Amino acid sequence: MNLQPRGTLSRRGFVERSLMALTAAGLPMWAARETLAAQQAASRSKPRPFGTRVSRMDNLRLGAIATGSRGIPVMMDALKQPGVECVAICDVDQRHIDKGLEALRKKNITDVQTYRDFRELLDRDDIDIVTIVTPDHWHALIAIEAMKRGKDVYCEKPLTLTVAEGQAMVKVARRQGTVFQTGSQQRSDARFRLACELVRNGRIGKVKRVEARIGQNPVGGPFPELPIPKELDWNFWLGPTPEVPYREKNCHYEFRWWQAYSGGKMTDWGAHHNDIAQWGLGRDGDGPVSVEGQATPFSTAPDCYNWHPDFTVTCTYDDGIQLVTMAKGENGVKFEGEDGWIFVNRSKIEASDPKLIDEPLPRTAVRLEVSTDHMGDFINCVRTRKRPICDVEIGHRSVTVCHIENIALLLGRQLQWDPKAERFVNDDEANAMLSREMRSPWKLEV
């Protein structure tokens, strides 16, 4: 009997399971094999692969800032990484703190300090990394303070509420040498990377147009004023935004549909899909040169959602390629070229002709960075001091596209954009909307 070593069988089983998972995600076998090979090569090149044990001295101590419906999964994702331990959580709502503690107890994690003020958490010298999963209007202030205090940062998308906030975050990150991952997880999805590689290598010919289909903004209101829940520090939740009554539907998840706190679907889903559009076009450090759009009106009442329900916005790049961000159509990104199209979303990748996907790229083809674990990429970069796959500047540039699209809709006219200067051309009114005044005592300091 010819028996193989147990290690060989385990190795073969691991490879087969990995290939099955990738093909189940919609990748052709050639792309699945290349993805797995790239992952293995990257692991061998790193000083401490994730599969090895990390000594107690090397543990990374996490402070989780905001533990709401999205904050807890992000925190738990970080704790799946070898050598990461949670020592503190923070939220302005005691209900979220309690849910965060409950999730940790289920993993037998009990030695955790809780805070209501993120600054007290950041005062701790023993915290190495933070996750920031607050509403959008808090991202910049918390991330900048964390970076100044020497923490590495994982911040959910959309990265910012304004263009000026993103510029400040990039400046501080570069000065401090911060490892900063934007939570644009589609960069770590093999389907999106394959779509972008195919487009970059001319598989659909010269690109003419990209559609980012992101869904409509909801319509809601008027919403009644309600008593503030005893567990919630409403004033702290509002932070730098204007003081307004608590309405339940202007807090927590529903904050997305209010201009004071977010950019609506344009930043909620647009930050994902415009990010992929920029990646596929090779425009990570760049942007369009003009933007214009049309939209249905939104309510101007102070007690209603106030983003455009339906919209279509066209950004034009200096080579004539158009990025159209739209409310209608199947959610996803569609690249259209002279020789066909490729569509990708979180469940599939398809093309006008299956051969566009099924035929392998040549060995000389342009290859993009491989990550199939977004949080894992961040943690590894914290240890190696490399820039993550969706570094702060990439996150800033991608959401900038969303911000200028919203500004064009709000002003109702075509705008010219200078992506190098990151300002509108000869338009004081539009440039005034690149930043916002913050409610005292909060201010953007770099």
pLDDT value of position 21: 76
- Which residues, 6 or more positions from 227, have their beta carbon under 8 angstroms from its beta carbon? 246
User: Could you report the per-residue pLDDT of 401-419, keeping only the tens digit for each?
Assistant: 999 999 999 999 999 999 9
Which amino acid would we find at residue 113?
Q
H or E element, residue 392: helix 392-411
322 pLDDT higher than 60: yes
Q: How far apart are CA 342 and CA 336, in angstroms?
A: 7
- Which residues, 6 or more positions from 437, have their beta carbon under 8 angstroms from its beta carbon? none
pLDDT band at 17 (very low <50, low <70, confident <90, very high): confident
pLDDT value of position 11: 62
Range list of H helices, 215-295: 234-238, 265-268, 270-281
pLDDT value of position 311: 98
pTM, to two decimals: 0.93
Q: Would you tell me how many other CB atoms lie within 10 Å of the CB of residue 374?
A: 22
Tokens 């990151």 sit at which residue? 422
The residue ranking higher by pLDDT, 9 or 215, is 215
Q: Would you tell me how many other CB atoms lie within 10 Å of the CB of residue 68?
A: 18
Report the chain's mean pLDDT, rounded to a whole number: 93
pLDDT value of position 55: 42
| 259: alpha, beta or left? (left if phi > 0; alpha if psi -120 to 50) | alpha
3-state helix, strand, coil split of the chain in percent (to 5) is 40, 15, 45
User: Could you report the per-residue pLDDT of 363-411, keeping only the tens digit for each?
Assistant: 999 999 999 999 999 999 999 999 999 999 999 999 999 999 999 999 9
pLDDT band at 340 (very low <50, low <70, confident <90, very high): very high
The residue-averaged pLDDT of 1-11 equals: 52
Burial readout 17-38 (b: 16 or more C-beta within 10 A, e: otherwise): ebbeebeebbbbeebbbbbbeb
The residue-averaged pLDDT of 106-110 equals: 96
Asked whether 402 and 263 are in contact (CB, 8 A), the reply is yes
H or E element, residue 208: strand 207-213
Helix 136-148 crosses helix 163-176 at what angle (to 10 degrees)?
Answer: 20
The residue-averaged pLDDT of 201-227 equals: 98
Least trusted range by pLDDT, from 14-28, 91-105, 246-260: 14-28
User: Could you report the per-residue pLDDT of 123-174, keeping only the tens digit for each?
Assistant: 999 999 999 999 999 999 999 999 999 999 999 999 999 999 999 999 999 9
Is the backbone peptide bond immediately before 5 cis, with ω within 30 degrees of 0? no
Q: How far apart are CA 31 and CA 21, in angstroms?
A: 12
226 pLDDT higher than 60: yes
Q: Sign (positive/negative) of CA torsion 181, 189, 32, 213?
A: negative
Question: Which two tokens mark 10?
Answer: 């385990």
For the sheet containing 311-316, what is the strand order? 349-351, 340-344, 332-337, 207-213, 322-326, 311-316, 290-295, 415-418, 423-424
Q: How far apart are CA 431 and CA 346, in angstroms?
A: 35
Instruction: Specify burial of residue 389 (Cβ count, 10 A radius: 0-12, 13-18, 19+).
Output: buried
User: Could you report the per-residue pLDDT of 38-93, keeping only the tens digit for each?
Assistant: 877 766 545 444 333 334 447 999 999 999 999 999 999 999 999 999 999 999 99
Break the chain into its structural domains and give their ranges.
Answer: 193-360+393-434
Q: Would you tell me how many other CB atoms lie within 10 Å of the CB of residue 219?
A: 14
The residues with which 311 forms a beta bridge, in sequence order, are 295
Q: How far apart are CA 8 and CA 166, in angstroms?
A: 48
Strands (E), 111-159: 113-115, 129-132, 152-156
Q: Calculate the dihedral angle through the C-alpha atoms of 238, 244, 245, 249, rounding to the nearest 10 degrees.
A: -60
359 pLDDT higher than 70: yes
- Which residues, 6 or more positions from 200, have their beta carbon under 8 angstroms from its beta carbon? 280, 282, 366, 368
Q: Any idea how long the chain is?
A: 446
pLDDT value of position 9: 53
Residue 256 gets which letter from DSSP? G
Class of the 193-360+393-434 domain? alpha beta
